[in-house]
A and B are shown apart, each in its own frame.
Chain A
Amino acid sequence: MPEEQNGIDLNLSLFKKLNLELVMLFIFMGVMLYFISVFSGAKLIHDSPYQYVAGDMFFLLSGADWITDSGDVTKYPSYLSDGANDQFPGLLPLFPMATAFLSDFTGIEKYDILFHLNIFFTVMTLLAVYLLLRKINKNMAILALPIMLLMFKWPFNYNLTWGMQMANMNFFFVITALIVFSLLNLPIMFLFFGILNAGSFFSHMRELLTLGLGISIYFLFSALKRNFDWMRLKKTFYSCIVSGIIVSYYLPILWQLVKANTSGGFILKYCPAMTHLPHFVVLKDMGVFQWFFILGVGIALLTIIFKKNVKQEYLLVSAFGFACIFTSYVCIIGNKTSHIRNFLPFFAAFFIGILLLNLCSILRRFRKILICAAFMTFIILMISNHFPKEIPEYAVSNPATWDSFRWIQANTEEDASILALYGDNFYQYTLFFSMKRRIHEVNTNEYINRIKEGIISPILPAHRRFLGKKLVREGNKLKDITYGSLVNVSMCDYDYIYTNKISRIKPIQDYTSMVINNLIREANFSIVYTNELTVVLKNNNVNGTCFKEKRFNR
């Protein structure tokens, strides 16, 4: 690859003359900063997990917590395994590790680093896609940039606030792997391709399946164009050996995890549109750009079929785009494989770039002006129609909850058992993993039923909230796969009761106050911590007599 033709020259000499591409790139970076301003509240450090909208964010946070605390990725701590020891984690390690390391290195809280990494990997992927497309044509790359801003808008930003961090990291690996694949004929580059694929395997895996499919389609296209590169196939094979060696120790474990996590035992099947899910992406979420996307796909297909000399990178990018489209409609090991749809702005950018480039080529004489005009029009369209809405600051966690967690970590025994009663934000139970204690949570529906029935009782059905699935490791195999279930528990069997004393629903708030009063008056509990939202009650007589079931007037 000639040095100055295919890459951005970061040399200072660039600034000596007006480089139109660089100007558009700077405009884009400014607009991107404006788009991502809806995240993080312009601050890196917050009082508690900020803009964590769903439970998976906390799930990964607990991974980073446990890695930092134990220095060991190979087994869950007992608080994540319902008190059991030596349980093998079913969590792919790379993203929680990156969070733990960066947090430990910088001294910044893990929950802030985790959210930062989310945006970081999305921005990096966006720029990597730009560089990948630039290998085909720099005008196409520039024209594709504004489309990718959709990543920061709902429902695509589901990836950022609902806990798709591992997928975000992996998509960056996948795009980087595509660039490396295009350079595979360089000496020992297959080694790096293999390393990236192994990283992809350990970070989320599903996007790796898409990459594998994309590369297979690429070889198919090359064969059809009678431009088959045997050397590249050979090096791809070498890279598979490299990846295979790296992941070999984990493969038997993975197989059992797959078996444990797929009740139906399916590997690949058609996945119907799950439009009942708010975050499920459909084409119309792209607004007017859906038509550009469809036309782009058509033009790419026609080019591949009818054009004689097609660039290898063009074939590669199109093949990967088609693989993304295909995997949007199939389920591989569970339903969520279709989440590749949430990366639609990235792979749609390939095809929209192709379309626009072809359109601009028709009027060659005015191409430069047309490209600038199209770029600016798209930027304006994006700002006016697709600017992301504000994200709730503390949808699940809040500083009061977090203060109570910190108090529990500092002031209770490591093996203490805690029962969580009720909180408006308890619906995302992974929140409790950050408490770092063995936790059971009262079933919310049953709790509300008791209020409706006018009964106050210390016995309630509770969920055992933990990550481990009794996966105990023996060498590189797992044994004893069982699952947690709903069990009837007595409040007086726990060391601590944790609850919110405030609720948006008045009858629930009154009922919780009543339970607290009964525990204090009739069951030897005392309040050891309280703040404006939460209460922690200590049981001074564990397994002792509890208050009797009674009726109350609603």
Chain B
Amino acid sequence: MSRLVRRTSFDVAKERRDYYFPDGDWAKPFDSLWREIFHPIAGRPGAVFLEVGSYYGLSALWWLRNLLTAPDARLVCVDPWHIQEQWRRFYTTDSADYEAIFDWNLKKSGLDRQVRKIKAESRRVLGELPDEYFDGCFINGSHVPCDALVDGLLALPLLKDGAVMLFDDYGADSNRFSIVPRTGIDAFAAICAGQVEMIHKGYQIAFRKLPVADVARDASGRPL
């Protein structure tokens, strides 16, 4: 499937003079996966993509370069761009630089006009976005299990039928990292079993939103 997609990969190594990513090119291992699961929306006119957790903009640039190539395609980035004290040790920048680096990278790409930044906690603002609006979604916000689950549950109604929701770090090793989202995402899969189908499970995990007609219902017509 991936060979159908135009090869315009975003390559940090080649363009590193233009961009600045303090945490490196972490998206590289996911290149072929992302091409495959999102290939139906690559280049689609009017495509709208939702990203929860944008950090320094690396994944945002990937969506813009590889999926949102139509001039009227749009990306919505939700991130507080704020580092709380208890997580400071995981960052090499402070809050102000964190947001400035995102802005810098997006401006450098010349694609910043296609991006709408929403600077806030996702649980506060996702509910204000329109239902059945987005063609795809990437969830990489707070890795606290409850928060990852809330992001998934709030984002699901915002997706169009057939749209794909991708979670990052599903397979992160809990022996290695203090906080991993796995149990929250497992709960999402369990509670939404009738509304979504899992289409990939690895270090990242992806679900496709089923069309309403395919949603499993009980005898009285309520979604299971």
Physical interaction between A and B: no
Interface residues of A (CB under 8 A from B): none
Interface residues of B (CB under 8 A from A): none
